[in-house]
Amino acid sequence: MSEIFVVVEHRNGEIREITYQLLWKADELCRKGSHTLTAVVLCGEKENFISEINDRADRVILFEDERIKNFNGDLYKELLVRLIQEHKPILTLIGHTPWGMDYAPSISIKTGYPLATDCVDVIFENGRPKVVRQIYAGKIFSRVAFKDSEGYLITVRSGAFSIDKAGEHKGEVIKKDIPPDLPTARREFVAFEDAGAGAIDITQADLLVSIGRGVGEADKVPAMQELANLMGGVLSCSRPVVDKNWLPKYHQVGTSGKSVKPKVYLAFGISGAFQHVAGISGAGCVIAVNKDKKAPIFRVADFGVVDDLFKVAEALKAKLA
């Protein structure tokens, strides 16, 4: 019986959602293949992470040291390489995040394990993993196989899996000491600055009225703000709106913006690129309005309206006035 590693990601003392998504998928793979699910935690001294994940994994390998309280790719890479070489897990799951994109390629080079990045699914066939990736801007899903290897590395896109607890686990905690010969890091953590912080917090809204490139021009944004106000919601947007300086960064939903969990998410003129869809995976109900009936947003929407967004917006205003 082999192991599946999940590298735990945390920031400012909190475990990030991508970790729970990885643990959910790892549980599924472990049950089907009779593998052991091992969570790997690199954190500062006495950070309270174990209680949050030990019921989601069979084993928790813990490194505690103030040098790794905050992310440092140099140190994380060295510790993970040594751990993988020692345990030889068949699979190591890493978030496709700035963390994962920093150290996953280095781990692949040092261990010789093949790496697949930005995956939206992982499956086993005949004892070997295959991954599903999106290509051509998300229009096609491709299934990718690996060359034969002792182990495999996979970075997983945020929002690809559920964050729910899965399976019955009683994680045995194994504490490991930092090796005395660990190289000195070439970089140093200074501070974390939330570039998305601003006058409003879209992550706390129950109703989001979100706009995309389909609004056309900056002078159309106030009309959508009016609708959000009438509905008692908050105005949010996709990345193109921020790139065009129509709204500040703190309104942005997506992998480079904020992940949101509103009860209702109204998407007006948003095509539904995977970066945006990843940010709304926690939404209760998604309602999409777009003139293009083939827009990817309709794949994830609970309800869809194929029509001019301003026609729909004005109809809603008339009902609410």
pLDDT of residue 155: 97
Answer with the residue of higher pLDDT: 46 or 242: 242
Please state the rounded mean pLDDT for residues 59-75.
93
Class of domain 3-176: alpha beta
CB atoms within 10 A of CB 229: 13
What are the residues facing 72 on neighbouring strands?
none
pLDDT of residue 274: 80
Structural domain boundaries in the chain: 3-176, 202-320
pLDDT of residue 137: 63
pLDDT of residue 287: 97
Structural contact between residues 51 and 14, judged by C-beta atoms closer than 8 angstroms: no
Q: In what order do the strands lie in the sheet with 234-237?
A: 234-237, 207-211, 264-268, 285-289, 303-305
207-236 per-position pLDDT tens digit: 999 999 999 999 999 999 999 999 999 999
Q: Which fold has domain 202-320?
A: Rossmann fold (3.40.50)
Please state the rounded mean pLDDT for residues 278-303.
92
pLDDT band at 288 (very low <50, low <70, confident <90, very high): very high
SS3 115: strand
Cα Rg of the chain, angstroms: 21
147-166 per-position pLDDT tens digit: 999 999 999 988 788 888 88
Looking from the CA of 110 toward its CB, the CA atoms found within 13 Å total 15
Quote the CA–CA distance of 220 and 317 in Å, as a whole number. Answer: 15
Phi, psi for residue 166 in degrees, rounded to 5: -135, 140
Long-range contacts of 311-316 (CB under 8 A, 24+ apart): 312/268, 313/223, 313/224, 313/227, 313/268, 316/227, 316/230, 316/231
Looking from the CA of 23 toward its CB, the CA atoms found within 13 Å total 30
The pLDDT mean for the chain works out to: 91
pLDDT of residue 37: 96
Query: Roughly what angle, to the nearest 10 degrees, separates helices 98-111 and 73-87?
Result: 50
Q: Which helix (H) or strand (E) holds 4?
A: strand 3-7
Which pair of tokens denotes residue 294?
Answer: 């083939």
Q: Which residue has the tokens 């999409």?
A: 288
Q: Helix count (H) and strand count (E) of the chain?
A: 9, 17
181-205 per-position pLDDT tens digit: 988 888 888 887 766 567 788 988 9
Pairing of strands 36-43, 3-7: parallel
